[in-house]
Structures are given as structure tokens and as C-alpha cells.
Amino acid sequence: MKRVAILSWPLGGNTRLVADKLIRQFTFYNEEDIKAEKLDFLSVSEGKLRPFDVIIIGGSTVETEDNWLKADETTKWSTFFDIIRFADLTGKKAAVFAIGNQKAYPDNFADGMSELKTVLEQKGAKIIGHWPTDDYDFFDSRSIEGEKFIGLVIDQENQPELTDRRIIDWVDQLVVEIGN
């Protein structure tokens, strides 16, 4: 059985909505094959990540520099990066997701997850879950490699009607890629 950890920040808002939907979507697969669990972002440690085969991490892009690199009351990403710096993720697979707003931030759409991917890869994880950019309308994003996003992108403010379909399709894709 493959164990999947899902971690996200912030703990509320659209990020929580998406994280909860992801967890729920995994329950439609056979638990003997694959099981997803939500890990508490605030108390995560190397030891807690160790038993998992796959780590999925995401969050909302809220002004990249502040959100990802500054540790204060509004963001815990720096703390998380400090923890992950000591983790060995060799042999694990990892996927990232971002919540963004393509109309309000067309030049930085879903930028945040690029930092996450970099850190996960540096620690030895293999990134899965690349996602097509079709059906989004924006100008630029740091989260694109080649023709694709490096992970799932959800725009709950402009395209809420596409969220459920995107999550179903992404989890379907992940399940295949986890099995490979």
C-alpha cells in the first residue's frame, strides 16, 4: 500500500478547501493500494514524513516573497523549509499544488509552488503531477516548465466551476504516476 501525505498552508480559506477535496478524492481508490492522510502542517517533522511514499504539498500564492520566504505570524513556510532542509526524501515521490488568481495576478499566477518544487527536488524527491496550462488565461508564471505547470493549479475565485473536475483528473493522474 502506498501512503500519501498531504500538507498545506494556510490552514483555512481556499487552500483548505482544495486540500480537503484532494483527501476526499483519494478515498475513491482502494485503500489497500493507496491511502492519503492530511498531516498537520504546524507540527510536521522529518520523522513524521518518513513513513510516506508520496508527499503532496500546496498553498495559496499570496505575494511570493512574503509568503514563502518570511517567517512571521501570517506564514509558516520558512519554518517548514527549515524542517525539510534536514529531511532525506530520496526514493519518495512528491507533487505540488497552488491556489492563485489569474485575473488579479496574471504576471505571477500561482508562482509560489515553484519554491516548493525546488526544495522537494533538492532533497531527493521525484516530482510527479505536472499539469496542462490549457483552460487558464494569464501572462506569466514561475510555476511553468516546458509547456506545463509543475503541479495542479486551482483558481477558486475565477474558475470555481472547474475545481472539482481538475481535482478528480489530477488525482487520477497521480495514482497512475505513483504506481509507475
Ligand X SMILES: Cc1cc2nc3c(=O)[nH]c(=O)nc-3n(C[C@H](O)[C@H](O)[C@H](O)COP(=O)(O)O)c2cc1C
Residues near ligand X (CB under 6 A) are 10, 13-15, 60-64, 99-101, 105, 108-111, 156-157
Q: Give the three cell numbers for residue 9.
A: 498552508
Q: 51 exposed, middle or buried (CB, 10 Å; 0-12, 13-18, 19+)? A: exposed
Phi and psi at 152, nearest 5°, equal -70, 140
DSSP 17-65: HHHHHHHHHHTTS-TTTEEEEE--GGG--HHHHTT-SEEEEEEE-STHH
Instruction: Return the closest-CA partner of residue 48 out of 6, 2, 90, 11.
Output: 6
CB of 64 to ligand X, least distance (A): 6
Question: Which C-beta is closer to ligand X: that of 87 or that of 152?
Answer: 152
Min dist. Cβ of residue 1 to ligand X (A): 30
CB of 101 to ligand X, least distance (A): 4
Based on CB atoms, which residue is closest to ligand X, 14 or 114? 14
Closest to ligand X by CB, 29 or 68: 68
CB of 19 to ligand X, least distance (A): 9
Residue number with CB closer to ligand X (79 or 158): 158
